[in-house]
Amino acid sequence: MIVLHYTGMEDAESAIERLCDPAWAVSAHYVVLEDGQVIRMVPEDKRARHAGISHWRGISDVNSASIGIEIVNPGHDYGYREFPEAQIEAVIRLVSDIKERHAITRGNIVGHSDVAPARKRDPGELFPWSRLARLRLALPRPTKNLMDPEWTEGGFLLALERFGYEVTERMAAIMAFQRRFRPELIDGEIDGECRAILLALLLPKPQGDD
């Protein structure tokens, strides 16, 4: 897996310092600065502590099965802002390289909020997942031939769990899904559009963005 994060700190220096401080027990394989510079922090064949308590598609120890990329951005607590073009271009190159090297499927390129919905919001609704999706570096947001399956709430949550999310905390799981696949409205409400998007994602070939 590849897990994308934002640093969520006031500046890059503070984030890198924390990632290097054993007292915090956090680490990541890469940090991508706003100017596009990529810093390797941990070798890819070593475990990094970037995901914390997390879950994705049956994997409950995400740190043992993933490469973590920290993208410098102050995050929701310190003035969340759009990611600069140079930074996104660097992320795309890095993700593409890692994906090819480790034969990672695009369904396993996720955000921290996808694997830890109850705790995390990063990389957040401003991250341009559609850019990655057009390059087959992430799943696209389905946009074609959408059909509302009219699932009950329980049916939607079962489908969401089947897709990969931990759904123990209902609202958090729904909002994480929306943040990733319907970022213009993150309200935790299951509506027809959410149901239709999720149904399309469960089909063999999700269509959209491309």
Model confidence at 209: pLDDT above 60:
no
Q: Known catalytic residues? A: 70
Query: Which of 117, 101, 104, 97 is closest to 160 using CA atoms?
Result: 117
Distance in angstroms (rounded) separating the CA atoms of residues 145 and 112? 29
Q: Say how far residue 85 (Cα) sits from the centre of its chain.
A: 18
Cis peptide before 142 (omega within 30 of 0): no
Q: Say whether pLDDT at 170 is over 70.
A: yes
> Does the pLDDT of residue 178 top 60, yes or no?
yes
Q: Which of 93, 83, 112, 119 is nearest to 3 (CA)?
A: 112
Q: Which of 114-118, 144-148, 205-209 has the lowest mean pLDDT?
A: 205-209
Mean pLDDT over residues 6-33, rounded?
97
d(C-alpha 189, C-alpha 160), whole Å: 14
Yes or no: say if 180 and 138 are a contact pair by the CB < 8 Å rule.
Answer: no
High-pLDDT (> 90) share of the chain, %: 95
Write down the pLDDT at residue 54: 97
- Residue whose token pair is 């009950």: 152
SS3 state of residue 79:
coil
pLDDT value at residue 189 = 98
Which pLDDT belongs to residue 206? 64
Taking phi over 0 as left and psi of -120 to 50 as alpha, with beta for the rest, 36 belongs to: left
Per-residue pLDDT, 204:
82
Work out the average pLDDT over 109-122. 98
- What single-letter DSSP state applies at residue 38? E
pLDDT, the chain, mean: 96
Q: Two tokens at 19?
A: 């990632």
The SS3 call for residue 43 is: coil
What integer pLDDT is reported at residue 208 of this predicted model?
A: 62
Question: Can you give the pTM of this predicted structure?
Answer: 0.95
pLDDT digits (tens, 9 = 90+) for 30-52: 999 999 999 999 999 999 999 99
> Could you report the per-residue pLDDT of 36-93, keeping only the tens digit for each?
999 999 999 999 999 999 999 999 999 999 999 999 999 999 999 999 999 999 999 9
